[in-house]
Amino acid sequence: MLSKGLEVNQNKLDAIIIGKSTQEDIEKIIGYPIRKTNIGNKEIWYYDFTRITSLPGFDKDESTVFEFNKRGIVVKKYKTQGSENSNPLLN
Protein backbone atom coordinates (compact mmCIF):
# COMPACT_ATOMS: atom_id res chain seq x y z
CA MET A 1 0.00 0.00 0.00
CA LEU A 2 1.20 3.49 -0.88
CA SER A 3 -0.33 6.67 0.52
CA LYS A 4 0.33 10.35 0.06
CA GLY A 5 -1.11 13.41 1.80
CA LEU A 6 -3.23 13.74 4.90
CA GLU A 7 -6.41 11.70 5.37
CA VAL A 8 -9.11 13.49 7.39
CA ASN A 9 -11.30 10.90 9.10
CA GLN A 10 -14.98 11.42 9.93
CA ASN A 11 -14.33 12.07 13.64
CA LYS A 12 -12.04 14.98 12.82
CA LEU A 13 -14.44 16.31 10.20
CA ASP A 14 -17.30 16.15 12.72
CA ALA A 15 -15.24 18.13 15.25
CA ILE A 16 -15.17 21.12 12.88
CA ILE A 17 -18.31 23.22 13.40
CA ILE A 18 -19.56 25.49 10.62
CA GLY A 19 -19.98 29.07 11.84
CA LYS A 20 -17.88 28.45 14.95
CA SER A 21 -14.56 26.68 14.25
CA THR A 22 -11.61 28.84 13.22
CA GLN A 23 -8.48 28.30 11.16
CA GLU A 24 -6.56 27.87 14.42
CA ASP A 25 -9.02 25.16 15.54
CA ILE A 26 -8.51 23.25 12.30
CA GLU A 27 -4.72 23.45 12.57
CA LYS A 28 -4.97 21.98 16.11
CA ILE A 29 -7.37 19.19 15.07
CA ILE A 30 -5.98 18.26 11.64
CA GLY A 31 -2.72 20.11 11.07
CA TYR A 32 -1.52 22.62 8.50
CA PRO A 33 -3.26 22.38 5.10
CA ILE A 34 -1.49 20.89 2.12
CA ARG A 35 -2.60 23.81 -0.06
CA LYS A 36 -4.52 27.09 0.24
CA THR A 37 -6.39 29.27 -2.23
CA ASN A 38 -8.12 32.66 -2.05
CA ILE A 39 -11.28 33.17 -4.09
CA GLY A 40 -13.06 36.48 -3.65
CA ASN A 41 -13.16 37.17 0.06
CA LYS A 42 -12.95 33.48 1.01
CA GLU A 43 -9.87 31.47 1.92
CA ILE A 44 -10.01 27.77 1.04
CA TRP A 45 -7.88 25.07 2.64
CA TYR A 46 -7.33 21.64 1.07
CA TYR A 47 -6.21 18.40 2.68
CA ASP A 48 -5.47 16.02 -0.20
CA PHE A 49 -5.11 12.28 0.28
CA THR A 50 -4.35 9.39 -2.09
CA ARG A 51 -4.03 5.71 -1.19
CA ILE A 52 -3.06 3.02 -3.71
CA THR A 53 -3.48 -0.63 -2.80
CA SER A 54 -2.87 -3.88 -4.61
CA LEU A 55 -6.58 -4.75 -4.32
CA PRO A 56 -9.07 -3.36 -6.86
CA GLY A 57 -11.68 -1.04 -5.36
CA PHE A 58 -9.69 -0.06 -2.28
CA ASP A 59 -7.81 2.90 -3.77
CA LYS A 60 -8.79 6.32 -2.45
CA ASP A 61 -8.32 9.78 -3.95
CA GLU A 62 -10.02 12.63 -2.10
CA SER A 63 -9.67 16.15 -0.81
CA THR A 64 -11.19 17.50 2.38
CA VAL A 65 -11.99 21.17 1.86
CA PHE A 66 -12.69 23.99 4.31
CA GLU A 67 -13.89 27.45 3.27
CA PHE A 68 -13.42 30.42 5.61
CA ASN A 69 -14.90 33.91 5.72
CA LYS A 70 -12.67 36.96 6.07
CA ARG A 71 -12.66 36.51 9.88
CA GLY A 72 -11.18 33.01 9.56
CA ILE A 73 -14.34 31.14 10.58
CA VAL A 74 -15.45 27.99 8.73
CA VAL A 75 -18.43 28.62 6.46
CA LYS A 76 -18.33 25.34 4.51
CA LYS A 77 -16.71 21.90 4.76
CA TYR A 78 -16.87 18.99 2.33
CA LYS A 79 -15.00 16.15 0.65
CA THR A 80 -14.34 15.83 -3.06
CA GLN A 81 -13.58 12.58 -4.82
CA GLY A 82 -10.94 12.01 -7.48
CA SER A 83 -11.64 10.66 -10.92
CA GLU A 84 -13.21 7.24 -11.48
CA ASN A 85 -9.72 5.90 -12.11
CA SER A 86 -8.16 7.35 -8.98
CA ASN A 87 -4.92 5.38 -9.26
CA PRO A 88 -2.34 7.98 -10.34
CA LEU A 89 -0.05 5.18 -11.52
CA LEU A 90 -2.59 4.39 -14.25
CA ASN A 91 -3.20 8.00 -15.38
**pLDDT-based confidence at residue 87 (cuts at 50, 70, 90):** low
Q: Which residues are within 8 A (CB) of 84 and not within 5 positions of it... i.e. 6 or more apart?
A: none
Residue 72 maps to which CATH number? Answer: 3.30.1450.10
Note whether residue 90 is domain-resident.
no
Note the pTM of the prediction, 2 decimals: 0.84
pLDDT tens for residues 15-56? 999 999 999 999 999 999 999 999 999 999 999 999 998 888
According to the model, what pLDDT value does residue 88 have? Answer: 53
Q: Domain range holding 54?
A: 2-81
Examine the pLDDT at 81 and tell me if it is beyond 90: no
Nearest-angstrom CA–CA distance, 9 and 30: 9
Note whether residue 89 is domain-resident.
no
According to the model, what pLDDT value does residue 59 have? Answer: 87
Nearest-angstrom CA–CA distance, 69 and 43: 7
The domain tally of the chain equals: 1
According to the model, what pLDDT value does residue 1 have? Answer: 81
According to the model, what pLDDT value does residue 56 have? Answer: 81
According to the model, what pLDDT value does residue 90 have? Answer: 46
